[in-house]
Structure 1
Amino acid sequence: MVRICFLLFIICCSFFSSQKRDSAELISEVKIDAYRKPTSYIHSTKSVSVVSQGLLNQNTPERMLESINQIAGARMEERSPGSYRISVRGSTLRSPFGVRNIKVYLDDFILSDASGNTYLNLISPELIDRMEIYKGPESGDYGAVTGGTLLLQTRSSENTSAHLSIGSYGTFNQSFDLSRNVGKHFFEVFQNYYRTDSYRKQSAVERKQIFLKDHFQYTHKASVNAMLLFSDLDYQTPGGLTLEQMQADRKQARPATSALPGAEEQNAGIRNKMILAGISHQISLSPKFSHFVMLQGSYVDFENPFITNYENRFERNFALRTHINYEDQWDRVTAEWRFGFEGGINSIVVKNYDNSKGAKGNPQNFDDLKNTSGFYFLSQKLNFNEKLFTDISISLNSNSYRWERLFPGNENEKVHFKNQWLPNVGLTYLFEKGFSIRAKIGKGNSAPTNEEIRSSNQEFNQNLVPEYGWNKEIGIRKEVGGILFLEGSYFDFRMKDAIVRRQNEKGQEYFVNQGSTVQKGVEVLLESRNFNLANTVFNNFKFRFSGSFYRFRFDNYTQGNNDFSGNNVTGVPSTTINSLFNFIVLKKLSIDYSHFYTSKIPLNDANSTWSESNIVGNIQFRFPLQFDKAQLNLYLQIQNLYNTDYILGFDINAFGNRFYNPAAKRNFVLGVKADF
């Protein structure tokens, strides 16, 4: 009843207000940063998507899922609240949770550690002002990944805002942001607190975060960026269910068996504290030469009470990125060169104990693991007469690790993977303003992360080697009449030594290299500019459609006596179609109406079990109230509008067919954001 009254209040108030015309750009008019290699979207050779404020506004306070899932080729999943993973073009295969095989940057700094693991769930989506998603290998600029790269950007303009929201299942969110120019400094202070009991049992979440940054332009030629991030995340993990268990009770946590206790009994969950600090410096040495350098360090305290053990991890990370840039221009040719290095060290002490109902019991294994990785890179951009744009790069990548068993006994070993030369070549030809065609070829390489080398079965897998492959693609970008933008791309990626997840009878995971994959796909985007309608009821309207159509197959893949060659790649839907409609009604009420269609998904390598296809709808109402020096933005989000029974993240290849992590039924978030 409260929700209905609130909605009626918003609609009634809208009759007495007015709304300015939205001046939102088409994507073709957007500039991409590409980690300090700016270019216009229509000229870019890269397979990149931009997540602007319009898409970020679709997110609920705890996650970036709604905005990322509007991007063709990108998919964010939620196994349980707080437990997220991102796949780009099917990289879910080796990510039971978290983010692997995808490099993530935050402004000038690196969120991914030296082994390739990223704690993206520590970041509040409200901190992010813009996002660029690069699909496929970008090894010349970002090193050894085959999935993709995410560039997250915080605010670059002045802002003072406070946000408060409540929602279903005891959800509460509060945040504050202050961004100001003070002399030669641009400061940002961001704070967030979020909690929820969530839909299922044993799935509560609590996150606290503080972010500080300072951009100091101490001369017109040089600047310093400094950043400090602290995040404290505590979330319970309900565990996967069998189909029969899910049908009996969608809200239950993983129950006990005759051999193992259940998730509630063991208080299964993850407690993760991270502090990340960094500083970068950019200077123009001359009209043609400039230099950039970045240093950062982080500390992670990670606890994971699980069904079979209690794990403690203490991680220390150090990273460096530096490059020198040269720019020149002749009659009709503009050139840029960049030569640099990026590297990192990741040191982990991991201790496993018996789990005595959520408390540490007897010790099982104590280990020390150190991963070192880095790459030298050289890139060249050439612009011929504002018609032909080239981006040619190559990197030399290295990765090694050493491990030592501290308890019980003592043993150690060191593994150095073969150094890899990874080239990347992209071409774009501009036929006319707003119409370009591009082609790209590149090689990617992705070493196993620490969590794959020493997975939850507590054994070191020294036989695991990096997966690698070549990606080829072509694409078209076309602006139509200044009101529509159309983009389409086709890619063909052949991966060798694919890293695949397995589970033993205790639910512990381990990883193996298993044959190769052939991944072919088409990705499309259709977006409109804002239509200003000459109508007293419907004032403005815009839309966006995106879709991914994949044919991903295992190739030369045998497991024991089983030959899975030709099977669909596990965990990847063949079709996803997404839509977003934005309306302004009665001159003030803004409505965002979105849909996400996902086709059936193979849940194991044998393709013997598949999920059901589903369509999920969301709707959001936003209503501004203007005061003397402040604007209140009221909103109501209704998630899963059609009350669909669906899964937002499966446990692929799960032992005992415990694939299912049911998502919440229809739920709401009611909030207000004050801008001063």
Structure 2
Amino acid sequence: MNHLTRLTLLLPGLLALCDTAGAEDAPLILDPSVVTGSRSASPTFDLPYSVDAIDRDQISDGQLGINASEALARVPGLVVQNRQNYAQDLQISSRGFGARSAFGVRGIKLFADGIPASTPDGQGQAATFNLDTAERIEVLRGPAATLYGSNAGGVIQMFSREGEGAPRIGAETLVGSDGLNKNHLTAEGATHGAGFVLDASRMDTDGYRDHSSARRDQTFAKLNLHPDDDSKLALIYSSLEQNGTQDPLGQTWAAYKADPRSVSANALTYNTRKSIDHQQVGMNYERYVGDATLQVNAYTGRRSVIQYLSIPKGTPANERGGGVVQFDRQFYGAGARWMQPIDSAPGELMIIGGLDFDQSQDSRHGYQNYSGNTLGVKGQLRRDEVDTARSLDPYLQANWALDRWTLQAGVRHSSMEMDVDDQFLSNGNASGRKIYRKTTPSMSVMYAFTPDLHGYVSAGKGFETPTQAELAYAPGNAEGFNFGLKPSDSTQYEVGLKAQVGSTRVNAAVFQITTEDELVVNQSLGGRTSYQNAGRTLRRGFELGLQSQLAEQWSTHLAYTRLQATYDSAFMGGGNPVDKGNYLPGVPQTTLFAELNWKPRDWVSSAIEGLYRSKVYVEDTNQQHAAPGYSVFNWRARLEQKVEHWTFHQTLRLDNVLDRQYVGSVIVGDGNGRYYEAAPGRSWYAGAGAEYQF
């Protein structure tokens, strides 16, 4: 390990000794186009809100292609925490939205190729993103995100590549610390007017912490067709399979300090684990009708999950709901959008009208996690219900560019229905139905002071409904769903500047978000977590993004966020007083990402990444030990060679170069005090691949 460390640290210096004469200038793309927000391709510099695009090189160059956290750390306003736990997925928050999620992603709308990766109630899974096929990722923050409906505190869209050029096939392998091994096969290109992308990968890891091994299989297929000169069609299939993924649970502060790799004894006693089988198909169709455009998408899929929890035998939660959660989900939806230019209006005016429908239905069961004296197995049935979430959202939007002014305004009427059909009558009929409705307007105005300096103001209303998991338990030991929960309402304001100075792009924004009826943890004991509505919250922040081509061979990227997220009124949470001015748990006040990239020739690149996060509170009273702030540095390099029809590449990566020990993520409000999840120390990765072009 010491030899590898010295080699990787010295390699940039050794490469610097190479003759750089003839090195090609590869300037950064400082003004990429995105569709998120405006719904039609527009340069980010001309859009009156905070939106960023992460391109293919930033997603793949020297990265592992395993977790979205690899790419999203470079976006201001986002906090992406890798739990080092494949049973629970990443934790992602945008300006504080989504920070309380105990598993998966909530409060942020996720899309893959325009198809929702979030259920109608707002729960999403970033693990379904296939980074090996990603062309770009778009991230929208602020008031404009509310035009995507309920639970849209931010929007993250991943777009896969389209098959283009001569057909080619490739293979890649990656190995690294903690038993990591990933093998990847791909084929893509175009033939007879049809483009195709085929991709399959398997990732295995022993995990950094004890009892955290995982195997993840992903497949992806995409077919692009042009039925005629005025239309195009994309057919997409994807799957994710994880069998027996171990769950190490969180750690108490004492356990983390004693041994960062440790796990709770209950995790071993009950063999906590999770299996996932997720498959979906989708279709995107676009047709030009005169000067207008019709866009239609539709999708369907299934997701099966069984999870073994550590709820102790004999506790009320195990007897009533069970310590084994199993559900089979059927989901489907469709959307249609009409985009009409108005030629009679001055300037450039586009009117967009659309309708989105989504439904997710779970056949959900709960079992005791023991049978007799055998623990960690499926026992007696203790829960049987069908949970249905559906949404139907019409929306209208206008994009208008007039001289130096750009106006974007829209309104969306969101309706989310949660229906519970309890079929376990011996436990009392817990059936019920709840409908949440809200009309959310948004308006953004930009003025071009000069061609290279734009300023904007944006405002909007939003709301966040409880998810099925947050409704699942009433406070205390009461039976049934917590249908008394109300949605959280937000009002958002943003003021920003966008500037281009030579080969440097700067984005800066200040924002304020006020919420009413914030959803917070009420009680988390014995495997049952219930939620309540708190009072008001206030979030004020500043974001700065900078990209620059410093010289022919050097470029840099910086993302800085300062966020003051506090409760703006006092309340009682789980029987404990929470004072006005307390900080929202899970939200660091300061986040800084910086990258320095060196590319002396077109076949080699190397970069240093740095990440700083300030301390994070773990529960609402702010009395428990906060996860300390930390700084980590990573190094990566990629080399490429071309020989006739062959292209070879090699990747070297060293994470946490200085071998710092730190808490990588927290579980907000955990009733057992297991708030902390340790991040790995120094870790190495090496990969190689080959591609053949026909």
**Structure 1 counterpart SS, 2:421:** strand
Deviation at 1:150, TM superposition (A): 0.7
Match of 1:525 in 2: 545
Asked if residue 155 in structure 1 is aligned to residue 171 in structure 2, the reply is no
Asked if residue 465 in structure 1 is aligned to residue 486 in structure 2, the reply is yes
Asked if residue 347 in structure 1 is aligned to residue 347 in structure 2, the reply is no
**Structure 1 counterpart SS, 2:666:** coil
Match of 2:660 in 1: 644
Match of 1:43 in 2: 46
Deviation at 1:4, TM superposition (A): 6.1
Cα offsets for 1:177-197 (capped at 9, x unmatched): 222112231111111111100
Q: Tell me the percent identity.
A: 19
Asked if residue 136 in structure 1 is aligned to residue 145 in structure 2, the reply is no
Q: Is the 8 A contact 2:514 2:536 kept in 1?
A: yes
Q: Is the 8 A contact 1:163 1:674 kept in 2?
A: yes
**Structure 2 counterpart SS, 1:245:** helix
Deviates more, 1:515-524 or 1:354-363: 354-363
Q: Is the 8 A contact 1:58 1:66 kept in 2?
A: no
Deviation at 1:586, TM superposition (A): 7.6
Aligned counterparts, 1:648-659, within 5 A: 648-659=664-675
Match of 1:606 in 2: 621
Match of 2:240 in 1: 231
Match of 1:625 in 2: 641
Change (3 A) 1:451 1:59: farther
Deviates more, 1:628-637 or 1:485-494: 628-637
Q: Is the 8 A contact 2:298 2:335 kept in 1?
A: yes
Deviation at 1:627, TM superposition (A): 2.0
Match of 2:390 in 1: 372
Choose from 393, 402, 406 the match for 1:384.
Answer: 402
Cα offsets for 1:402-424 (capped at 9, x unmatched): 11221242625433334211101
Q: Is the 8 A contact 1:146 1:444 kept in 2?
A: yes
Matches of 1:241 and 1:247, distance apart in 2: 9
Aligned counterparts, 1:188-203, within 5 A: 188-203=197-212
Change (3 A) 1:416 1:542: same
Q: Which amino acid aligns with 1:243?
A: W
Matches of 1:221 and 1:398, distance apart in 2: 34
Matches of 2:146 and 2:78, distance apart in 1: 21
Match of 1:543 in 2: 556
Deviation at 1:68, TM superposition (A): 0.8
Q: Is the 8 A contact 1:242 1:657 kept in 2?
A: yes
Q: Which amino acid aligns with 2:4?
A: R
Q: Which amino acid aligns with 2:681?
A: K
Deviates more, 1:487-496 or 1:350-359: 350-359
Deviation at 1:145, TM superposition (A): 2.5
Matches of 1:563 and 1:188, distance apart in 2: 52
Change (3 A) 1:13 1:396: closer
Match of 1:272 in 2: 276
Aligned counterparts, 1:410-421, within 5 A: 411-421=429-439
Matches of 1:128 and 1:570, distance apart in 2: 32
Deviation at 1:281, TM superposition (A): 1.7
Cα offsets for 1:277-298 (capped at 9, x unmatched): 11122111222x2212111111
Match of 2:421 in 1: 404
**Structure 2 counterpart SS, 1:94:** coil
Matches of 1:605 and 1:624, distance apart in 2: 50
Change (3 A) 1:249 1:232: same
Deviation at 1:33, TM superposition (A): 2.0
Choose from 283, 287, 311 the match for 1:283.
Answer: 287
Deviates more, 1:4-13 or 1:198-207: 4-13
Asked if residue 62 in structure 1 is aligned to residue 76 in structure 2, the reply is no
Match of 1:578 in 2: 593
Match of 1:358 in 2: 376
Aligned counterparts, 1:305-344, within 5 A: 305-308=308-311, 309-330=323-344, 332-344=346-358
Choose from 478, 482, 502 the match for 2:499.
Answer: 478
Deviation at 1:673, TM superposition (A): 2.9
Match of 1:498 in 2: 518
Q: Which amino acid aligns with 2:53?
A: V
Match of 2:317 in 1: none
Deviation at 1:5, TM superposition (A): 9.2
**Structure 2 counterpart SS, 1:264:** helix
Change (3 A) 1:10 1:55: closer
Change (3 A) 1:316 1:588: closer
Q: Is the 8 A contact 1:365 1:408 kept in 2?
A: no
- What is the TM-score of this pair, normalised by structure 2? 0.90
Change (3 A) 1:161 1:429: farther
Matches of 1:505 and 1:62, distance apart in 2: 33
Cα offsets for 1:423-476 (capped at 9, x unmatched): 010111112222111110011111111121116998511111211111000100
Matches of 1:443 and 1:221, distance apart in 2: 37
- What is the TM-score of this pair, normalised by structure 1? 0.93
Match of 1:33 in 2: 35
Q: Which amino acid aligns with 2:541?
A: G
Q: Is the 8 A contact 1:26 1:527 kept in 2?
A: no
Q: Is the 8 A contact 1:88 1:148 kept in 2?
A: yes
Cα offsets for 1:527-555 (capped at 9, x unmatched): 102511xxxxxxx1111111101111101
Which structure 1 residue ranges, 5 or more long, are not aligned? 256-261, 533-539
Q: Which amino acid aligns with 2:79?
A: R
Q: Which amino acid aligns with 2:267?
A: A
**Structure 2 counterpart SS, 1:92:** coil
Deviation at 1:94, TM superposition (A): 3.0
Matches of 1:122 and 1:265, distance apart in 2: 30
**Structure 2 counterpart SS, 1:419:** strand
Q: Which amino acid aligns with 2:253?
A: L
Q: Is the 8 A contact 2:251 2:263 kept in 1?
A: yes
Matches of 1:200 and 1:111, distance apart in 2: 28
